[in-house]
């Protein structure tokens, strides 16, 4: 491991700590026991339904037939491994400046991925910009964490952000449902709604991690400036004043609130975090909010 | 509009470069900084909200900002060109500043400066500041001498350094010389301005009647000074006693220039030790004088200080409140008495403490041993070519006066009463047993003689040899029994050793001094009281130099010991510091500089001010984003 690698020994120690903390938070849960909404061949009773041709006769509840002379089949909950997809925004806006957002996102992915692997969940990482920029196939078991590290380290910057295009591709390529953790700054000119809706409509459980850099909101540049969009190259010439900086901050707040409101209304977990906040705090916040570890 | 600053030929290219430079800088300023942002749509939304102005106005504002700068630059160029209205009168004048630096200008009866000269310099400086571009000024310093410090110059700043260097000279004031020089300097010059900056102290306008001021010249007298109250030491001398030149006496005279009685105190210091103090009362305009007898202390530096003790009075002129004198070292005269024994002679000679008398037997006489005075008692021996010799009844081949015969009982009938040898004595009543009749030469001068023409007391000056002869043996007379005998001996010693100059006069400042040093010296180094040194030429054994500072001067050089002399102001005209106006009969004399100030419209100041205001406006509008 390179010395300048963000996933150094200290980082690994922190992951261990996070894992212990996650165990405390979700104490009592069984390992790899995630009840899916699928009804299948599990042991735990779920429901009854009318018998139809082709049903396994072993599942007919004969006691009910005796009482009501109607054939019902017992339904059991299907038990399966949890799939966790980390959809990481690797567009240029995530890497602007000294790549703080990008580094932060990688740490979050590594942290949550490690917890997932420890819980014997299947963890997959899909970086995206306006398309999917690669894929780490679902991995399972703690030993796969270094695979995750290597994958994250080799990621290159993409182009502009397009949640819609990227997530559309994602849902078509991944049929196994699971938790879809979207880490992005959501600087998408076409908006975030359509992209997130793709996840919802295809039965994924979206979890939104909205990252931002406080320095972008309180930039110290003033005066006559030529502002160039780092992704699209679009130019805006304006004179930045203190008032304009305040307006910019306000516009960003509005955009973030809009995203949060959208997620809340659709029962999607939403986390907003500044990259200036230590990443482990965010992870613990995600744990406490539930939904990620079940 | 006329421009008197940098010519347009020079200014034009400078202005062009300036304008081009401003334009380039402005274009550079317009180039916007490129900043990469993560998400420009957010900025665009703000821009849409805030951008109400159209592009035309925006461009206009930018041009306005450039115009601001160009206009500011144009104003600066305009100011540098020094613009003036065409109707502005600026014909050059010839201003001659006569600055008085005589002793009276040291009076401190002024406000706003240390003394009158300080104020005079300020006034001169003010006048120089008002000079127009075509004016010419000349600076002349005067006291009892005249010192032109510059020719007529157009640049007033050139005169500031010499004006600053003018200092008080403890000398008198030669108004006539100064005014004549100034008048002649301005003769033929257009628009002459003769400005006398002086206190007018000691000014006798009646002496200036013949002064011919050129018609085109305006005469001004800026009177400096407000008060004439002063007490002064006008004389401070040390001199030998008339009767006994081996001792000294001091003389001091104090003059009051107050218009009312005042009290003062005279203090005499010897080598900075107070040796005498005397309170005095001075009537208005009166003087006081005093002798200090028997000052036998040798080699002392004497200083007289005058202090005003009247509490309600103030002496405005400190320069004449101190005077200096030097007591010459008391000289002990070495006398050789060549005699085989004469108690009458030995008595007076041995009793005088200022005389070192050696008695030599006639057989032991050695002419090669030098003495100040040699007394031959009834003998005449070979003498050197120079020296002082007193013969009493000489005889023999070496006698200066061959004896024709001896006359008994000569009766003294004639004597030169005014001769120093006979000071306070007479010899007519002497009883003389016998006297020799001598053959006299043309170099001899008979001081006392008998009725029959027998010389009794004779003097002879023979080059470096000085002789006095007494033609009778004192033992053969009643002369030793008389008081006149020791007095004659003292007179004789004075005559030989000290000459007749009894007064040890102090030197007066402002005069050219001639101090005897050494004939072999070619130059002498003069150390003045303030500590500065200068070199003076020596002509015929005398150092010639001018002193303008009261105090003790030291003269040193090769071939002679350091000589000290005392110098005092001792100038009653300068001590009379009452300011007075210059009056020249029908001649109009202006008393102020009100019409002298060169009034001109300094448009360049307004141009610079306007440029500065525009700069503030531009700065404000730029920071308020009005001209961005």
pLDDT digits (tens, 9 = 90+) for B516-537: 888 888 899 999 998 999 999 9
Question: Which pairing describes strands B434-438 and B403-408: parallel, antiparallel, or unpaired?
Answer: antiparallel
Same domain, B132 and B221: yes
Is residue B515 in a domain?
A: yes
- H or E element in which residue B92 lies: none
List Cβ neighbours of A282 (8 Å cut-off, separation of 6 or more).
Answer: A108, A209, A271, A273
Instruction: From chain A, pick out residues whose CB is under 8 angstroms from the CB of B46.
Output: 238, 244, 247-248, 251
Is residue B596 in a domain?
A: no
- H or E element in which residue B370 lies: none
Same domain, B108 and B221: yes
Same domain, A181 and A55: no
Same domain, A100 and A40: no
Same domain, A61 and A182: no
Same domain, A65 and A104: no
Number of domains in chain A: 2
Q: Which residues pair with B2 in a beta bridge?
A: B84
Q: Name residues of chain B where pLDDT drops below 50.
A: 53-54, 500-502
Last residue of a domain, one of B328, B357, B389: B328
Running along chain A, 294 residues long, what does each successive block of 10 average in pLDDT?
A: 60 76 57 48 73 86 91 76 88 85 90 85 91 89 88 83 92 88 92 92 91 86 82 82 86 93 91 88 77 59
- Nearest chain B alpha carbon to A244: B46
Question: Which pairing describes strands B355-360 and B373-377: parallel, antiparallel, or unpaired?
Answer: unpaired
Same domain, B486 and B529: no
> Is the complex ipTM more than 0.95?
no
Domain containing A41 equals 35-80
Is residue B243 in a domain?
A: yes
What pLDDT score was predicted for residue A47? 81
Question: Which parts of B151-230 are beta strand (E)?
Answer: 192-198, 217-223
> What radius of gyration do chain A's Cα atoms show?
23
Is residue A294 in a domain?
A: no
Instruction: Report CB contact under 8 Å: A251, B39.
Output: no
Euclidean distance between CA atoms A154 and A87, whole angstroms: 16
**Tokens coding B277:** 């103090």
Tell me the C-alpha to C-alpha distance, in Å, between residue A93 and each of A127, A156, A184, A228, A278: 14, 13, 9, 12, 20
Instruction: From chain A, pick out residues whose CB is under 8 angstroms from the CB of B40.
Output: 227-229, 232, 234-236
Is residue B571 in a domain?
A: no
Interface residue of A236, A237, A243, A245 to substitute, partner B, most B CBs within 10 Å:
A236
What pLDDT score was predicted for residue A233? 86
**Angle at B23 (CA atoms; ends B20, B29), nearest 5 degrees:** 145
Instruction: From chain B, pick out residues whose CB is under 8 angstroms from the CB of A96.
Output: 36-38
Same domain, B324 and B365: no
Q: Which residues pair with B573 in a beta bridge?
A: none
Of B32, B45, B46, the CB nearest to A226: B32
What pLDDT score was predicted for residue B190? 83
Same domain, A152 and A17: yes
Is residue B573 in a domain?
A: no
**Tokens coding B14:** 């400078």
Euclidean distance between CA atoms B1 and A289, whole angstroms: 85
Euclidean distance between CA atoms B502 and B239, whole angstroms: 6
Nearest to A88, CA basis, from A141, A125, A138, A114: A125
Instruction: Report CB contact under 8 Å: B34, A238.
Output: no
List Cβ neighbours of A20 (8 Å cut-off, separation of 6 or more).
Answer: none
Is residue B517 in a domain?
A: yes
Domain containing B172 equals 94-226+579-590
Return the axis-axis angle of helices B55-80 and B603-623, rounded to nearest 10°.
150
Nearest to B98, CA basis, from B11, B188, B176, B204: B176
**Tens digit of each residue's pLDDT (9 = 90 or more) over B530-560:** 899 999 999 888 899 988 899 999 999 988 8
Tell me the C-alpha to C-alpha distance, in Å, between residue B25 and each of B17, B34, B430, B495, B608: 12, 18, 118, 97, 21
Same domain, B350 and B478: yes
Euclidean distance between CA atoms B371 and B387, whole angstroms: 8
Instruction: Report CB contact under 8 Å: B35, A251.
Output: no
CB interface of A with B, residues 253-272, below 8 Å: 255
Same domain, A178 and A50: no
Instruction: Report CB contact under 8 Å: B49, A247.
Output: yes
Is the separation of the CB atoms in B271 and B290 below 8 Å?
no
Q: Which residues pair with A42 in a beta bridge?
A: none
Instruction: Report CB contact under 8 Å: B40, A232.
Output: yes
Is residue B371 in a domain?
A: yes
What pLDDT score was predicted for residue B331? 67
Which DSSP category does A184 fall into?
A: E
């Amino acid at each position: 491991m390179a010395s300048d690698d963000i996933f150094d020994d200290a980082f690994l120690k922190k992951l261990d700590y996070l894992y212990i903390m996650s165990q405390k938070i979700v104490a009592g849960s069984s390992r790899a026991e995630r009840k899916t909404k699928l009804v299948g061949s599990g042991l735990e009773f779920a429901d009854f339904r009318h018998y139809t041709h082709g049903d396994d006769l072993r599942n007919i509840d004969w006691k009910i037939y005796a009482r009501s002379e109607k054939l019902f089949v017992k339904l059991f909950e299907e038990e399966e491994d949890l799939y966790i997809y980390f959809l990481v925004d690797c567009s240029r806006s995530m890497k602007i400046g000294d790549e703080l957002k990008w580094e932060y996102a990688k740490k979050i992915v590594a942290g949550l991925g490690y917890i997932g692997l420890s819980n014997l969940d299947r963890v997959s990482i899909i970086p995206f910009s306006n398309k999917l920029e690669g894929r780490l196939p679902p991995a399972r078991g703690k030993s796969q964490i270094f695979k995750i590290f290597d994958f994250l380290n080799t990621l290159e910057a993409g182009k502009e952000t397009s949640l819609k295009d990227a997530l559309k591709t994602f849902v078509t390529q991944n049929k196994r449902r699971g938790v879809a953790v979207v880490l992005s700054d959501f600087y998408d000119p076409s908006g975030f709604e359509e992209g997130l809706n793709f996840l919802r409509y295809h039965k994924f459980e979206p979890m939104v991690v909205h990252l931002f850099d406080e320095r972008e909101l309180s930039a110290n540049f003033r005066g006559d400036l030529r502002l160039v969009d780092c992704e699209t190259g679009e130019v805006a010439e304006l004179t930045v004043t203190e008032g304009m900086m305040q307006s910019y901050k306000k516009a960003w707040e509005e955009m973030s609130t809009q995203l949060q409101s959208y997620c809340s209304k659709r029962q999607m977990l939403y986390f907003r975090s500044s990259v200036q906040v230590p990443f482990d705090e965010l992870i613990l916040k995600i744990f406490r909010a539930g939904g990620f570890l079940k | 509009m006329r421009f008197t600053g940098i010519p347009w030929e020079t200014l034009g290219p400078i202005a062009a470069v300036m304008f081009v430079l401003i334009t380039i800088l402005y274009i550079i300023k317009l180039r916007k900084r490129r900043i990469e942002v993560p998400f420009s749509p957010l900025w665009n939304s703000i821009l849409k909200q805030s951008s109400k102005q159209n592009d035309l106005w925006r461009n206009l504002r930018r041009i306005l900002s450039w115009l601001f700068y160009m206009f500011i630059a144009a104003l600066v160029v305009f100011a540098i060109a020094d613009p003036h209205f065409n109707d502005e009168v600026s014909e050059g004048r010839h201003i001659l500043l006569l600055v008085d630096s005589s002793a009276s200008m040291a009076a401190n009866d002024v406000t706003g400066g240390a003394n009158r000269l300080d104020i005079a310099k300020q006034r001169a400086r003010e006048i120089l500041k008002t000079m127009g571009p075509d004016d010419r000024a000349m600076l002349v310093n005067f006291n009892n001498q005249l010192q032109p410090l510059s020719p007529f110059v157009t640049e007033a700043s050139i005169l500031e350094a010499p004006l600053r260097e003018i200092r008080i000279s403890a000398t008198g004031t030669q108004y006539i010389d100064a005014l004549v020089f100034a008048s002649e300097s301005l003769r033929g010059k257009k628009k002459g301005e003769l400005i006398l900056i002086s206190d007018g102290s000691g000014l006798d306008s009646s002496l200036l009647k013949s002064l011919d001021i050129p018609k085109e010249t305006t005469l001004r007298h800026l009177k400096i000074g407000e008060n004439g109250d002063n007490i002064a030491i006008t004389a401070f001398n040390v001199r030998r006693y008339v009767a006994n030149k081996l001792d000294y006496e001091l003389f001091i005279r104090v003059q009051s220039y107050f218009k009312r009685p005042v009290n003062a105190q005279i203090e005499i210091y010897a080598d900075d030790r107070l040796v005498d103090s005397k309170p005095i009362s001075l009537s208005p305009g009166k003087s006081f004088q005093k002798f200090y007898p028997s000052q036998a202390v040798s080699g002392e530096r004497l200083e007289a200080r005058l202090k005003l003790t009247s509490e309600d009075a103030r002496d405005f002129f400190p320069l004449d409140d101190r005077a200096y004198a030097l007591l010459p070292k008391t000289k002990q005269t070495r006398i050789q008495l060549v005699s085989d024994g004469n108690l009458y002679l030995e008595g007076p000679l041995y009793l005088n403490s200022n005389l070192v008398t050696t008695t030599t037997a006639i057989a032991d006489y050695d002419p090669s041993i030098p003495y100040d005075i040699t007394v031959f008692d009834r003998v005449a021996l070979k003498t050197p070519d120079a020296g002082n010799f007193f013969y009493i009844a000489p005889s023999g081949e070496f006698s200066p006066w061959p004896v024709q015969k001896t006359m008994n009982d000569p009766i003294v009938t004639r004597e030169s009463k005014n001769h120093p040898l006979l000071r306070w004595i007479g010899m007519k009543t002497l009883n003389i047993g016998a006297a020799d009749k001598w053959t006299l030469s043309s170099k001899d001068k008979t001081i006392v003689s008998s009725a029959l023409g027998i010389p009794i007391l004779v003097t002879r000056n023979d080059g470096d040899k000085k002789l006095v002869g007494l033609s009778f043996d004192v033992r053969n007379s009643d002369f030793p029994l008389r008081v006149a005998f020791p007095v004659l001996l003292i007179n004789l010693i004075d005559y030989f050793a000290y000459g007749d100059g009894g007064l040890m006069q102090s030197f007066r400042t402002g005069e050219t001094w001639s101090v005897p040093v050494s004939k072999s010296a070619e130059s002498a180094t003069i150390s003045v009281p303030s500590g500065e040194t200068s070199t003076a030429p020596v002509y015929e054994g005398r150092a010639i130099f001018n002193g303008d500072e009261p105090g003790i001067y030291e003269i040193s050089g090769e071939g002679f010991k350091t000589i000290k002399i005392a110098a005092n102001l001792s100038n009653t005209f300068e001590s009379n510091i009452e300011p007075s106006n210059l009056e020249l009969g029908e001649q109009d004399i202006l008393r102020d500089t009100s019409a002298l100030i060169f009034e001109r419209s300094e448009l360049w100041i307004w141009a610079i001010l306007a440029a500065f205001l525009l700069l503030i406006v531009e700065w404000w509008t730029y920071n308020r984003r009005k001209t961005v």
